[in-house]
Amino acid sequence: MKYVLFVCTHNAGRSQMAQALFERHAPPDVRAESAGRQPAREVWPEVVEAMGEIGIDLSGRQPRKLTVEMQLHADWAITLACGASCP
């Protein structure tokens, strides 16, 4: 099984959306997770609402802290950030 890691600063927006969309369209032998360098307390409500509009429920998801273990196990790590700052 392959493992994709989506990373953004707070794991409350971009990386959560990327993980959910990837899970919807990826083959069954590829697993995805997301994490953030400075996780927020919750996935942002506007993100939950926007994803709900396309039939993806993020209401039960919690932002997670990026760990070394996650990075070491990832076959691919994709960073998502505003401007030039990357987690």
Identity of the amino acid at 6: F
With CA atoms as reference, report the closest residue to 37 among 70, 76, 84, 3: 70
- CATH architecture of the domain 2-79 equals 3-Layer(aba) Sandwich (3.40)
Domain ranges of the chain: 2-79
Per-residue pLDDT of the chain (87 residues; tens, 9 = 90+): 999 999 999 999 999 999 999 999 999 999 999 999 999 999 999 999 999 999 999 999 999 999 999 999 999 999 997 665 555
Q: Which residues pair with 33 in a beta bridge?
A: 5
Q: Is the CB of residue 30 less than 8 Å from the CB of residue 5?
A: no
How far apart, in whole angstroms, are the C-alpha atoms of residue 61 and residue 50?
Answer: 14
φ, ψ of residue 37 in degrees (nearest 5): -70, -35
